[in-house]
Structure 1
């Protein structure tokens, strides 16, 4: 098994490489972000024509050209939204605000944390999404939940209907580079209300949406602490059924979900896409290091700085962990604390491990972990394939298929019947 994992544990290929279901317009890390933009189309968060007109202005691997192109599109579409709103065209304004939010999020993605445009563009993503929320029916509620040390984290609550009757509720998280706002489109939140579910989507410490809320909220190994506060919030609402609370995490969320449900048994069902037992393995793979061998202390002279994934890792990811002034080896030391090893048998809820065929080594790694989850109420493993068009990381290239698998599984394990 070690050889199998060693040969496949290269996250450059897991997360950012070209698979048959990816756009394949860019050869760099940009292609993953392009796939994400396309994933917003189903619920009105983007339009293909606007996407194509934008990417024609981008040079592959040139982060600055990406930033400028998306910022130009975002500015134009936001101006349309505000003009429509001023004239009383509220549906048109809502739709344009949703698209502008997506394009601002894309514009800020590759900005260095020292670049003031990063905060500006990422915050404008939030501003536009919240303007759209006010115009939705029912409105999406903006929430802010106290965690610890006097800090709070932002999120959104989507009600299944206008009654206060208790409903099943899905808590939804992204990963290390996502915002709560985008989870509405590809993270199953928008699908929830159609199926009679509430959805609570939120940012976790270290995610970019948390960092623009409070730059001190860096990644922390004990993610179960802030996430359990969102469970507290959900249980405080009369429209939440306490016996039907589920949680869904993507990418880095595949570490956060099992870690949380190992500690918080109020959650009845969990989906990890895919299960990530030790985060250091992923970061080493991204640097083309053997994740199962000791790493040298002088890594800066070893890694390939021409690789766009490595450049992003060295800047953005270390900063989000509060390690921007530390060496790469020190960062990997800290990343070793992000683990669920030894906690697997404490998970007692229903558990679904999801993966996509293009994630390669992540699939094998996840399966070694779930094999240790011997006390789950039930344990399921589902991989989306290239033939199904769901082979990209977290199923980004087929959110509808992903939602079908997630909600059908939830209905079955929690005994929920849809009424015609």
Structure 2
């Protein structure tokens, strides 16, 4: 008798981070941002944490070279698809840099990011004018943004404004946050790096901030100055940690007609605090900085925990563990903030949410108008941000958005 294939339940890797990254890059294939065969061939060569970076660099480099050759030979469609996949693969490599010692990590991080961003920009440039760079004025600098459109006609269209999570690349949003799906439905989509995200972190050293209204407002100002954006049909999408940032911003910024929160996040610190035992938590609560620092230094000698915390800590820009955890605990949506949100929300609630379980329902209870959208393992759309069920998610999300914007 044949045995059941359990890869989706037992995982591609025992390491949870590698397993999740594999699901994300495999799911990106649904809109051409990866190739299933290339993904499975690459992860099949990964025998340890350190090999993840090496093997994804090899796949990314080969894919980029093929895209360059297609562009030089006058094949823009092939080049465009190749550069998009290469951008995805370089982003996968970037997710593995913290497997190395800190000095080596810092030496390879920025060059790897630049290879990724160069491929993303080449993808934009191969769009025949449909996609454009848009710099957003932000305080004393600018945020790099991209308006992706179905064509270059300049016709005003409904526009999906996508806010990324804590560590995802812009190429992840193509399949993972409704960008390609928006273009298929004759919408525009706008993506950008906010403070602490991607180029803002790696090239400018600008870290996260909790008050995302200071970010979303200038983004909307920039979009509403354009004639190819329909001012009456703006919607938002907040992915992963933006499940906190976007609702927080919407407590103060009311120009979006509707927003999708995938998933809901009320307290960003929950997975951080789950890493601490009772003693460390008590030291943090009690303000015992010295004991907390000593305890974290010992705890982070555990390789998996050390990698996770080092990776997650970078955008908060703190040298002290005590200050880092204290800051992360301020990333909370208060009841008063939720009460100020006027924008109707569709909040995804996937089965098996790893990072913020139960918080989608909590967020729905804080705001005036919210609808929960559950996604299950039976339909292949479970886990954080539903990486392997994007078509299922997109159907429900865009049907809901279309209905909302038609009112």
Instruction: State the TM-score, normalized to the length of structure 1.
Output: 0.86
SS at match of 1:242: strand
Match of 1:3?
none
The offset of 1:289, in angstroms, is 4.4
1:263-314 alpha-carbon deviations (Å, 9 max, x no partner):
10111111111111121223212x1547996454424167464362x32332
Equivalent residue for 2:337, pick from 315, 331, 343: 343
Match of 2:53?
67
Matches of 1:86 and 1:214, distance apart in 2: 32
In the alignment, structure 1 residue 56 sits paired with structure 2 residue 64: no
Matches of 1:99 and 1:358, distance apart in 2: 28
Matches of 1:284 and 1:74, distance apart in 2: 35
Matches of 1:319 and 1:180, distance apart in 2: 18
Match of 1:128?
119
In the alignment, structure 1 residue 159 sits paired with structure 2 residue 146: no
Gap regions ≥5 residues in structure 1:
1-18
Matches of 1:20 and 1:369, distance apart in 2: 32
Equivalent residue for 1:403, pick from 394, 399, 402: 394
In the alignment, structure 1 residue 306 sits paired with structure 2 residue 302: yes
- Contact map agreement 2:27 2:388 (CA 8 A) in 1: yes
The offset of 1:21, in angstroms, is 4.3
**Cα RMSD between the aligned structures?**
2.3
Equivalent residue for 1:195, pick from 163, 185, 189: 185
Alpha-carbon distance change, 93 to 334 in structure 1, aligned in 2, over 3 angstroms? same
The offset of 1:331, in angstroms, is 1.2
Count of aligned residue pairs for this structure pair? 387
The offset of 1:108, in angstroms, is 1.4
In the alignment, structure 1 residue 98 sits paired with structure 2 residue 87: no
1:75-121 alpha-carbon deviations (Å, 9 max, x no partner):
11111122222222332222221211111111111214742211111
- Contact map agreement 2:182 2:188 (CA 8 A) in 1: yes
Alpha-carbon distance change, 291 to 370 in structure 1, aligned in 2, over 3 angstroms? farther
Match of 1:230?
219
- Contact map agreement 2:216 2:253 (CA 8 A) in 1: no
In the alignment, structure 1 residue 258 sits paired with structure 2 residue 247: yes
Matches of 1:357 and 1:311, distance apart in 2: 28
Alpha-carbon distance change, 161 to 23 in structure 1, aligned in 2, over 3 angstroms? farther
Gap regions ≥5 residues in structure 2:
1-5
In the alignment, structure 1 residue 185 sits paired with structure 2 residue 175: yes
Using the TM superposition, name which of 161-170 and 295-304 deviates more. 295-304
SS at match of 2:37: helix
Alignment of 1:270-419 (within 5 A): 270-285=259-274, 287=275, 289=277, 294-296=282-284, 297=288, 298=292, 299-300=295-296, 303=299, 305-306=301-302, 308=304, 310-323=305-318, 325-327=319-321, 329-341=322-334, 342-359=336-353, 362-374=356-368, 378-415=369-406
Equivalent residue for 2:72, pick from 86, 92, 102: 86
